[in-house]
Structure 1
Amino acid sequence: MRIVFWAGFWTFLLDQATKYLVVHWMGLAEKGMIDVFPPYLQLRMAWNTGVNFGLFAQETSIARWFLIGLALVISVGVLIWVSKERPRRAGLIAAGLLVGGALGNVVDRVLYGAVADFLNMSCCGFVNPYAFNVADIAIFAGAAALILLPAEKAT
């Protein structure tokens, strides 16, 4: 479980540090958009009150607290599953990524009422209208790895 803790801790810390750096220190909240490597990478401020890509976005307190509760329940569920199944090292890291990312977004919802999304990538004539953050990457990577990695237990 130490691997899960440290993977989650560093994921959470990296997520919160990048959000603070980009949103507050670089002033993205006021500027709205910063070109980093146009047209491939922009920092574009988006306050997401919903789930991925703004799905089910609602400006209500009930929705906010429901999503906070859901993220916490899923995180606890993953931790319980990991403690019982004891997957190999890669599975433990994946669980840490998922939990650390989920907790990073929970902190945003508690502090700001929405998740701070800011990374926007486009390519090859496709202009991506959505933004995401480090926590979203970690949640996706962790969930995908938990699904795709062999479920063999550690010996």
Structure 2
Amino acid sequence: MSRTLRMLFIVGLILINVGCDQVSKSVARTHIDDTERISVIGEYVVLLKAENKGAFLGFLSTLENPILKVIFLIILPIAVLFFILRMIIITKDLDRFMIVGLCCIVGGGIGNLYDRILYQSVTDFMHIDLGGIFKTGIFNMADVSVMLGSALLLISFIKRKEISLS
């Protein structure tokens, strides 16, 4: 793949992730009332709006010090996202799973970071509860991007391990 095509692929994939996240959050902010529960698949998949002032699952949401909050919820994530983006661009031997996975992580991170900067919270709106089998907190499409990206990285690492063991 040429350098230009690779860069277009990386930027395009990140923008698709950010775009899907921001469009879905905009729809949730506009069409889901604060106290509303919209059943998508019975009580298994429900849409409800929650504003998360912290990080993943509300982590750091009770942090009172505004300087520490900015450091941990804005500055540190920006540094990590730039580091990952730099790695995607510079490292030439990344397989497709790793490139797509890292782009999903960066896109999801940018989506949630954008919310934190613009709204001082992240809009979450989906909840899955499959009884005792599987249950999530309230999440958004950026979280889905990050989880998908993490799964793709795991697949990449497993494939690399299998190749090195052969």
Report the TM-score when normalising by structure 1.
0.84
The 3 A distance-change label for structure 1 pair 145 and 129 is: closer
Identify which range, 68-77 or 140-149, moves more after superposition.
Answer: 140-149
Please state if 1:21 is matched with 2:37: no
Q: Secondary structure of 1:30's match?
A: coil
Please state if 1:62 is matched with 2:67: yes
Which runs of 5 or more structure 1 residues have no equivalent in the other structure?
A: none
Q: 2:4: which partner in 1? A: none
CA shift for structure 1 position 111: 1.7
> Residues of 2 paired with 1:141 and 1:51: CA distance?
18
> Residues of 1 paired with 2:23 and 2:35: CA distance?
19
Q: Secondary structure of 2:47's match?
A: strand
Q: 1:76: which partner in 2? A: 82
Q: 1:115: which partner in 2? A: 122
Corresponding letter in the other structure for 1:70: L
Q: 1:134: which partner in 2? A: 141
Task: Report if aligned partners of 2:21, 2:108 keep a CA contact under 8 Å in 1.
Answer: yes
> Residues of 1 paired with 2:136 and 2:156: CA distance?
31
The 3 A distance-change label for structure 1 pair 50 and 125 is: same
Q: Which has the larger radius of gyration?
A: 2
> Residues of 2 paired with 1:128 and 1:141: CA distance?
17
Task: Report if aligned partners of 1:3, 1:93 keep a CA contact under 8 Å in 2.
Answer: no
CA shift for structure 1 position 32: 3.7
